[in-house]
Amino acid sequence: MTSEAITHGGAMNPEGDGWVTPDGRHIGPVVLEVKNITLRFGGVTAIKDISFDIREGEIRAIIGPNGAGKSSMLNVISGFYHPQEGEIWFRGQKRPPMKPFQVARQGIARTFQNIALFKGMSVLDNIMTGRITLMRSNMVDEAIWWGRAEREELAHREAVEKIIDFLEIQHIRRTPVSRLPYGLQKRVELARALAAEPKLLLLDEPMAGMNVEEKEDMSRFILDVNDEFGTTIVLIEHDMGVVMDLSDRVVVMDYGKKIGDGPPDEVRNDPQVIAAYLGVSHE
Amino acid sequence: MEVIEPRLDTIPRLVMRNAERFPDRPAYREKEFGIWQEWTWKEALEEITALANGYLALGLEEGDRVAVVGRNRPYLYWAMIAAQMVGAIPVPLYQDAVGEEMAYVLEHSEARFLVAGDQEQVDKVLEVQDRLPALERMIYVDPRGLRKYDHSRLHAYKDVQAEGRAAHERFESELAERMARQDYDTTCVILYTSGTTGRPKGVVLSNRNIIEATKLSVAFDNLTEREEILAYLPLAWVGDFIFSMGQATWTGFCVNCPENASTMQTDMREIGPSYFFAPPRVFENMLTNVMIRMEDASALKRRMFNYFLEHARKVGSRILDGRPVSAIDRLKYALGNILVYGPLKDALGLGRIRVAYTAGEAIGPEIFEFYRSLGINLKQLYGQTEASVYITIQPDGEVYPDTVGVPPEGVEIRIDEKGEVHYRSPGVFVEYFKNPEATASTKDAEGWVASGDAGFFDNATGHLKIIDRAKDVGKMADGSLFAPKYIENKLKFYPSILEAVVFGNGREYATAFINIDLSAVGNWAERNNIAYTSYQELAAHPEVYAMIEKHIEEVNRSLAEDEKLSSSQIRRFLVLHKELDADDGELTRTRKVRRRIVEQKYADLIEALYGGKERVSTETEVTYEDGRKGVIRATLEIRDVRTFPPAKSTKEAA
């Protein structure tokens, strides 16, 4: 399916090298796999022995009731939390414990549930910060400015402008983020994550608190990002309609455990999942 | 047929002439990725020719229609010119039209090719493609989101051009032959009128229509290749076609396309157009934004602003019109220009305006005067698609807020016995596409076109005044003219009046329903410590009535000055207890009053207005937003208003 050869153990890829979705998108081999992850905060176990994989080019949703451990899972992947047990395999290699910035350099970018932008800075500057991991000029270059730093800034600006165009936020390019409505701030956050040119994009509730129209816009952008840049996307979302429409496969969590994993239709009809969401008592 | 030397009788030939005469002057600019991208006339011709050859490669035939839809972008203008080059007819569509409306025009025009700006437009067409057997190929400009679509009939614009470039030798002679067959009478474009009543009609305009209308307007305002315009109004609108296609190619000036609709203000400021058109709404919004921002300015700035604006109001338009003004006032105005007017115009992007136009609907006299007093040469024109825009234009120095000017050289106007305006000009359309009945009923054998608008020439100025749609104009009982819309517009210029409906057809005197503007009147009530709980209560408040009465009195005074309209002064009025609402069928979705429905629904109130009563009780059914129905009961006061004797003693006979 993909030309890129990825070396990995046979056990990691039981279903072969991927498939083609009904709408013509190519789902490739596994890029990231979490194996038997357990995360504890003191006596509280946030994540209990969870394993799943993420395939290249897919949109992978993580759903579950509040407090199920979804955001913690994302924080584990992004290197913010270090699980007590379990392994993370990225591109066929076991990942040693890493700092978030090291994870970012590997090509994993994220957005946050509570918007984490620099409020006083303009949209353009905020998105530029997303390119920091790609900048090569050092402090001396920056101080001299002419030459290397200037060339680099121009190249980065061009990349950022393409993202601004892509996400249709030209009209707020110079506006300080704090003056923007919530829905647009979310879009700016997505823009900043995209500026890092990630291979894997982690979206923590990209549509929380949005109205229907804003959700539709955001859904379209997520699909377009996936389609246009081939970015693999993991998203946490509560709106079931959105999850069912967008995602290729869904992981369902409840009380830190994985209770379901599969295509949206399958998951939707899983009695365990229904029980978790509707609060039906377990027999 | 007159021969023009050298042959400048089609738009593609004009582009070729420009590529020779101004090879390095900018022809098109578009802001993309935060930078103004620019194409010279030479480059534009290359792009257009490549696309034309691409069309040939795809099998576009002479006479085929090519629909074009999307926001204003150079690519879409080229798509139209390239279509003309190969002998096809461009049909620009309104980009915000919903699928159904778009389907009708595509179906009726039997477009074989469609050039779309982006995925959104492509999707809209795909949705209705079952109804479009004639549509064979779609070409899109922006590839985003379209990569995975079935490309058997879908092509990327760049690919079509690349194909054209590769095959240019193969098609060179074919293209030249086709172009040689085109002349002044070849169809230039089919523009579908949006149509307030019934289905849209396709107005067929020939090269003669477009180029002659262009020539007369260019001569009228001395437009040159040095103008800069901002192309932001719909491609399907005849005005944009004349400005961005006709005038731009005739004079060779530059067409600037904004980055997208929401950046128009910023982009305008960066470009600083010298020639600008906007509907009244745009000028209103710009003024409102300025006023709101001034409220937040420091006290010193605010005082300076108000002081100089007051001075501008006094002498600004006089200076603009070249009338005598004292040296002291001139000096003060010059100072004001440095401190206030200049920076303000610059902030609005109007700093380099030489000529600005507004048209489409009535513009409030205060708004009109505001821009003129700043030294912006804002004028009005009256036009129609069927006339290739120009019927009348206001000449420099003869600008009045309530007239639409004089016919430019080449346009003849006649007013028939019913008061309807008829015109004849070289811009008059060829026919309605596939609709001979409508053509026959609009245009007579001698080329006179019935505009559908009622108007008259003002005695004092000799300018045309448009008062209403001809079908709404009636007569008072004494036989004098009754034009409700004209009076309603005068009333609606007061911020406290949201809507007005004037009655009087066949009656002794005129009466009016008034809808107050809740935000404006509510604001006023707050400042004057008037307590109210509901719209109904505020509407019935005696102070509100007093204020409305004063406004109507002023309108009556201005009507009295006009001998034709002085007998339609409003003698009695009431303030309605509810807002006229589209949900109740009283307004159209575009907020135009449905006169007949209002008349039927409130027959009891109209009767009371003419019955001499002082109060009237009524019940009205209303529809809530969730679709439930309810009844509002109210007792409304009816007030008499002072009327004024006509200014001239000679009253027009019936």
Mean pLDDT per 10-residue section of chain A, whose length is 283 residues:
36 58 81 93 91 93 89 92 92 88 90 88 94 80 80 91 93 93 92 94 90 89 90 90 89 90 88 77 50
Contacts with B156 from chain A: Cβ below 8 Å:
none
pLDDT at A129: 92
| Residue where one domain finishes, among candidates A132, A163, A197 | A197
What's A63-108 look like in SS3?
Answer: ECCCCCCHHHHHHHHCCCCCCCEEEEEECCEECCCCCHHHHHHCCE
Q: Is the domain of A269 the same as that of A148?
A: no
Q: What is the pLDDT of residues B271-329, one digit of tens each?
A: 999 999 998 888 888 888 888 788 788 999 999 999 999 999 889 888 888 888 899 99
Instruction: Please state whether the predicted TM-score (pTM) of the whole model is above 0.90.
Output: no
Closest residue by Cα to residue A208 from A185, A176, A234: A185
The C-alpha angle B412, B417, B423, rounded to 5 degrees, equals: 20
Amino acid at A183: G
Q: Give the pair of three-digit tokens for residue B293.
A: 């921002």
pLDDT reported for residue A7: 35
Looking at the structure, tell me whether residues A148 and A222 fall in a common domain: no
Locate the chain A residue with the closest alpha carbon to B263: A171
Q: HSE of B394 in the Cβ direction (CA atoms, 13 Å)?
A: 22
Which range among B33-47, B131-145, B278-292 shows the weakest confidence by mean pLDDT?
Answer: B278-292
pLDDT value for B648: 57
Instruction: Check A165 against B33: CB less than 8 A apart.
Output: yes
Task: Say whether A171 and B266 touch across the interface (CB within 8 A).
Answer: yes
pLDDT tier at B199, thresholds 50, 70, 90: confident
What confidence score (pLDDT) does residue A3 get?
39
Residue B649 pLDDT more than 50?
no
Chain A residues with CB-CB distance to B34 below 8 A: 157, 161, 164, 170, 173
Smallest CA–CA distance from B261 into chain A, residue:
A171
Indicate the residue among A160, A179, A197 that finishes a domain: A197
Distances from the Cα of B262 to the Cα of A161, A173, B31, angstroms: 16, 12, 13
**Is residue A181 domain-shared with residue A263, that is, in the same domain?**
no
Q: Which residue of B has its CA nearest to A159?
A: B33
Q: Is residue A50 part of a domain?
A: yes
Claim to verify: residue A97 and residue A207 sit in the same structural domain:
yes
A116 part of a folded domain: no
- For residues A180 and A203, membership in a common domain is answered with no
Q: What is the mean pLDDT of residues B425-449?
A: 93
Average pLDDT over residues B460-481: 85
Q: Which of A26, A157, A165 to mutate to test the interface with B (most CBs of B within 10 A)?
A: A165
Read off the pLDDT of residues B250-263 as tens digits, 9 standing for 90 and up: 999 999 999 988 89
Considering the domain architecture, whether residues A246 and A143 belong to the same structural domain is answered as no
Which is more confidently placed, A162 or B493?
A: A162
Share of chain B above pLDDT 70, in %: 96
Interfacial residues of B (vs A; Cβ cutoff 8 Å):
31-35, 144-145, 147-148, 259-260, 262-263, 266
Q: With beta carbons under 8 A apart, name residues in chain A contacting B144.
A: 166, 224, 228
Cis, bond preceding B12 (omega within 30 deg of 0): no
Please indicate, yes or no, if residue A213 is contained in any of the structural domains.
yes
Inside any domain, residue A178: yes
Strands B412-415 and B420-424, how do they pair? antiparallel
Question: What pLDDT is attached to residue B640?
Answer: 92
Per the structure, the count of domains in chain A is 2
List, as own/partner pairs, every contact residues B163-170 make where C-beta atoms lie below 8 angstroms and the sequence separation is at least 24, other chains included: B163/B53, B163/B54, B163/B57, B163/B58, B164/B49, B164/B50, B164/B51, B164/B52, B164/B53, B164/B54, B164/B55, B164/B56, B164/B57, B165/B50, B165/B53, B167/B53, B167/B54, B167/B56, B167/B57, B168/B49, B168/B50, B168/B53
Residue range B331-339: mean pLDDT, rounded = 93
How many Cα atoms occupy the beta-carbon half-sphere of B157 within 13 Å?
A: 25
Query: Do both A5 and A98 map to the same domain?
Result: yes
Alpha-carbon distances of B616 from B89, B213, B512, B537, B552, rounded to whole Å: 59, 54, 15, 15, 20
* 3-class state of residue B565 by DSSP: coil
When CB atoms are compared, the residue of A158, A224, A228 closest to B33 is A158
The pLDDT score that the predictor gives to residue A10 is 33
- Domain co-membership, A206 together with A103: yes
On whether both A2 and A135 belong to a single domain, the answer is no
Q: Nearest CA to CA, how far is A100 from chain B (Å)? A: 31
pLDDT classification of B426: cutoffs 50, 70, 90: very high
- Tell me the CA distances in angstroms from A185 to A163, A226, B345, one per residue in order: 15, 20, 32
Identity of the residue in A161, A171, A227 whose CB atom sits nearest the CB atom of B147: A227
In a domain, A114, yes or no: no
Which CATH number covers residue A283? 3.40.50.300
Same domain, yes or no: A175 and A230: no
Domains of chain B, first to last: 12-271 (3.40.50.12780), 279-376 (no CATH), 392-427+434-468 (2.30.38.10), 473-640 (3.30.300.30)
* Beta strand pairing call for A85-90 and A93-94: antiparallel
Chosen domain end from A138, A167, A197: A197
Indicate if the pLDDT at residue B1 is higher than 60: no
State the residue for tokens 């108007």.
B455
Sort out which chain A residues have CB atoms less than 8 A from B32's CB and list them. Answer: 165
Contacts of A139 (CB under 8 A, 6+ apart): none
Mean pLDDT of B494-516: 90
> How many CA atoms within 13 Å lie on the side-chain side of A20?
6
Q: Is residue A162 part of a domain?
A: yes
A102 and A2 in a common domain = yes
Cβ atoms of A39 and A84 within 8 Å: the answer is: yes
A228: which chain B residues are within 8 Å (Cβ-Cβ)?
144-145, 147
Residue A191 lies in a domain: yes
Across the beta sheet with A93-94, what order do the strands follow?
A44-55, A30-41, A85-90, A93-94
- A10 class by beta-carbon count within 10 Å (0-12 exposed, 13-18 middle, 19+ buried): exposed
* B2 has pLDDT over 60: no
Among residues B361, B430, B360, B432, the alpha carbon closest in space to that of B193 is found at B432
pLDDT at B389 over 90: yes
| Containing structural domain, residue A186 | 121-197
Tokens of B297: 């300015």
What was the pLDDT predicted at B654? 35
Q: Does one domain contain both A185 and A202?
A: no
Q: For tokens 């309609």, what's the residue?
A: A241
Identity of the residue numbered B161: Q
The tokens 């229907």 sit on which residue?
A: A212
User: Which residue of A162, A168, A171 is in closest CB contact with B33?
Assistant: A162
For an interface test with A, the pick among B36, B141, B151, B259 (most A C-beta atoms closer than 10 Å) comes out as: B259
